[in-house]
Structure 1
Amino acid sequence: MSDLENIDYYDYKALLKRARSQIPDYVFQKDRFELPEIEILIEGNRTIIRNFRELAKAVNRDEEFFAKYLLKETGSAGNLEGGRLILQRRISPELLKSRINDFLREYVICRECGKPDTKIIKEGRVHLLKCMACGAIRPIRMI
């Protein structure tokens, strides 16, 4: 006898249990999104994020886009150089971490399901954040 013959098609709990057994375990993990520790170095009047490339890869966003956001939010000039972001003023690590968290909330994390599996897509002149996990779509402001 196969599994299908043993299932009572009107037993919701049995059907739910069967469906959940076919879903990979990582889907149920809440802590699978981990941002690497931010390496901030202050040299004179410059602030350097040494592992900026790894941060951008971890959040699955373009380095230029991420850098543009941080430069705008900190009110600083700066540039990307060899996987590092160099800001042309002294910025406290707490402020930088706060701005990075703001970026995650606005451009990475889905507001519906809370997962980081999102993409930025463009439809016409509107940019949208589309969640690949739950399918939610919401408009975002571009930088």
Structure 2
Amino acid sequence: DFSQDVNYRYKMEIPKIHTEGAGNGIKTAFENLEVIAEKLQRSREMLIKHYTFSLGCDYVDQQPTILFGKHDQGTITKTLKSFIYNYVLCRHCNNPETKFDIQEKKIVMTCAACGKNYDLLPKSTLPLVAFVIRKNFETEQKKKKLIPIDFMVNKIAKIPMDSMKKQLLEWANDGELQQEEIPALMISGYLKNKETKQILDLLPLFNDKELIPASTHIYFLYALELLIKQRYEEFKEKPLFAAILQQFDFLKPESLEAFRSETAEPFVPQEFHDECIEMAEKYYEWLDQQEEEIEEEEEEEQ
């Protein structure tokens, strides 16, 4: 019943509760729910949702956690034991040394005691599994929107330059490469080596047949702006921005036009973005000239 362990290794925290209110307004205050969740190495929110699913009640997210309705000590303890049985104890060795790995379509439980792992699937009889997966997905989506490219640049900069291309390919093959990480990898290489030619080795990875569609090229331009911001004096004195853009001929014209349009949403202040556009003016002049020559050639052919 989880209350005894022959080796005296594990101790289960006893739930501490008290009743508040009366009649239709009666509720149960769970004083140490957060402590219990921490000791079980599961999130407080997950444990709360288990109680609401199991008891069919709503709750108030405060300290202490409030569960609507009157729930006695036996019910609270029994519900906690079912949580431990389903989401903490290893199915193979029965030890509570499992780790959660929340993936896109399942939760992988890995046991540190016996080394085995198994899956919890959202289509199972455990309603909490689907909730945890969905909640994790929503959290990850919010993180992607909030994390600026310069943060990823600093994080990914730890990868040695000579292994960067290999890492890109591995992530791409595993389907784990996010579009924002690609320019971050390249800019990281630039920051470490201070030579544009070093990241030219990665150019074969940047085309529509490989990793990213043309619609994501603008992220590379935004990342370049962050590079300029970090090395402003160097870029201000020399036409480096225009020179770099000319090197990266994989960039699609529509992305370049979107970058300098009024609808652009850069990761730098608008005033600085406008200054970057001025720095790239020579490149845009060259690009416009190339387009004019192409149009003239097409007219002559007609």
The TM-score with structure 1 as length reference comes to 0.73
Corresponding residue of 2:9: 32
Match of 2:100, SS state, is: strand
Match of 1:125 among 97, 105, 121: 105
Cα offsets for 1:49-71 (capped at 9, x unmatched): 10111111111110011111111
Q: Is the 8 A contact 2:14 2:77 kept in 1?
A: no
Corresponding residue of 2:28: 47
Summarize the alignment of residues 28-107 of structure 1 with structure 2, pairs less than 5 Å apart: 30-44=7-21, 45-82=26-63, 84-107=64-87
Gaps of 5+ in 1: 1-28
- Give, in angstroms, the shift of residue 139 of structure 1: 1.9
Bigger helix share: 2
CA distance change for structure 1 residues 32 and 80 in 2, over 3 Å: closer, same or farther?
farther
Counterparts of 2:103 and 2:59, CA distance in 1: 30
Counterparts of 2:34 and 2:7, CA distance in 1: 24
Runs ≥4 residues deviating over 6 A: none
Alignment-mate amino acid for residue 118 of structure 2:
R
Gaps of 5+ in 2: 1-5, 123-128, 132-302
Counterparts of 2:33 and 2:112, CA distance in 1: 24
Q: Is the 8 A contact 2:15 2:76 kept in 1?
A: no
Counterparts of 1:108 and 1:76, CA distance in 2: 23
Q: Is the 8 A contact 2:17 2:28 kept in 1?
A: yes
Counterparts of 1:108 and 1:43, CA distance in 2: 30
Summarize the alignment of residues 12-27 of structure 1 with structure 2, pairs less than 5 Å apart: none
Percent of residue pairs identical: 23
Aligned residues: 114
Counterparts of 1:80 and 1:31, CA distance in 2: 34
The TM-score with structure 2 as length reference comes to 0.36
- Give, in angstroms, the shift of residue 87 of structure 1: 0.4
Bigger radius of gyration, 1 or 2?
A: 2
Counterparts of 2:116 and 2:50, CA distance in 1: 23
> Structure 1 residues 72-81 or 118-127, which shifts more?
118-127
Alignment-mate amino acid for residue 36 of structure 1:
E
- Give, in angstroms, the shift of residue 73 of structure 1: 0.6
Match of 1:41, SS state, is: strand
- Give, in angstroms, the shift of residue 79 of structure 1: 2.4
